[in-house]
Amino acid sequence: MEPKENGIELSPVEMAKRMACHMAVDENYPKHPKVIGIGSGSTVIYVVERLLTKPGVENVVFLPTGFQSKELIVTSGLRLGDPDCYPDVDVCFDGADEVDDSLQCIKGGGACLFQEKLIGFLAKRLVIVADSRKNSHMLGEYWKKGVPIEVMPMAYTSILPQLVALGALDPKLRMGAPGKAGPVVTDNGNFIIDASFGLIKNPEGLFEKIKLLVGVVEVGIFCNMISAAYFGSQDGSVTVKKSNGDNHIIPPKITATATEFDAIVAESNATPLK
Ligand SMILES: O=C(CO)[C@H](O)[C@H](O)COP(=O)(O)O
């Protein structure tokens, strides 16, 4: 029987994401946490699920990285805060679109770019949670949608050709999903441009060049920010990459097999998310 979330069977990929999140929270939950950042995307819901099992979590202030994580924090009954009131962040847990061997990463696939960069920057530790499809050797290897770039709306037309001059292949303004005519508008009222640069050999250099363009608010390349990344695999193992070089794979027996997963979650008294 497959593990279930609110009565719905979890796919192997969801199980992998969940295992990575539980492991990441268990290994990085501070002894005396005061402020924790919550990233955006489909993976971080399992971070919150695990956080709800931690003693003292009701006294911790949680900073969202966008509308979705704000809702997640509030509906989970956790304390919500703003970065201008709580700039000292103990740890931030966030998803990613791709992470390379040097722990540089691409984020912003969910258009929560600027706030994710801010909370990640403020955090003493930025911990990434993802499934193994995000774990690559070099940025651009697996993530083919391009580098997300948050821009001021009035500047997007002038930024597009400048990105081409920097080597971007056909940069595009991100358009809304069905139900939204026109472009995606971020939580900060900006637009997103997706610009593919093929394999990114020098993420730091590229980040700096894009960031200097007038009208660019933030770039979805996160350089030298990540402390650790946890990638769940469908076999139940979790691959861990750390900035201190302590990279390792936690085998399925230690994490869980599919059939053991229900028991582990039950033992942890995890509070199901609504
Ligand atoms: O950067 C992000 C949002 O802007 C997300 O963290 C990233 O897209 C990963 O999302 P998911 O966990 O759904 O794969």
**Predicted-complex ipTM score:** 0.98
Q: Determine which residue's CA is closest to atom 8 belonging to ligand 1.
A: 109
pLDDT of residue 255: 59
Q: Give me the residues paired with residue 228 across strands.
A: 127, 242
Number of domains in the chain: 2
Best of 69, 112, 135 for a ligand 1 pocket test (most atoms within 8 Å of beta carbon) = 112
Q: Give the range of the structural domain holding residue 201, as residue numbers without chain letter.
A: 147-219
Give percent above pLDDT 70 in the chain: 89
142 assigned to some structural domain: no
- Six token digits for residue 4: 């279930």
Question: Residue 53 burial by CB count (10 A; 0-12/13-18/19+): exposed, middle or buried?
Answer: middle
Domain assignment present for residue 68? The answer is yes
Residue pLDDT, tens place only, 125-143:
999 999 999 999 999 999 9
State the distance from the centre of ligand 1 to the C-alpha of 111, rounded, in angstroms: 8
- Quick one: 60 and 125 in the same domain? yes
> Are 199 and 86 part of one and the same domain?
no
Residues 166 and 206 in one domain: yes
Using the mean position of ligand 1's atoms as its centre, give its distance from the Cα of residue 130 in Å: 9
What pLDDT sits at residue 30?
Answer: 96
E strand or H helix at 17, and its extent? helix 12-28
Which ranges in 38-186 belong to alpha helices (H)? 44-51, 67-75, 113-122, 156-165
Are residues 91 and 36 in contact, defined by beta-carbon separation less than 8 angstroms?
yes
Q: Is 194 in the pocket of ligand 1 (CB under 6 A)?
A: no
Quick one: angle between helices 67-75 and 44-51, nearest 10?
30
Digit-coded pLDDT (tens) for 182-202: 999 999 999 999 999 999 999
Q: Please identify every stretch of the chain with a pLDDT value under 70, giving residue numbers as ranges.
A: 1-8, 253-274
Does one domain contain both 121 and 172? no
Say yes or no: 27 and 86 in one domain.
yes
By annotation, the residues acting in catalysis are 116
Residues 257, 201 share a domain: no
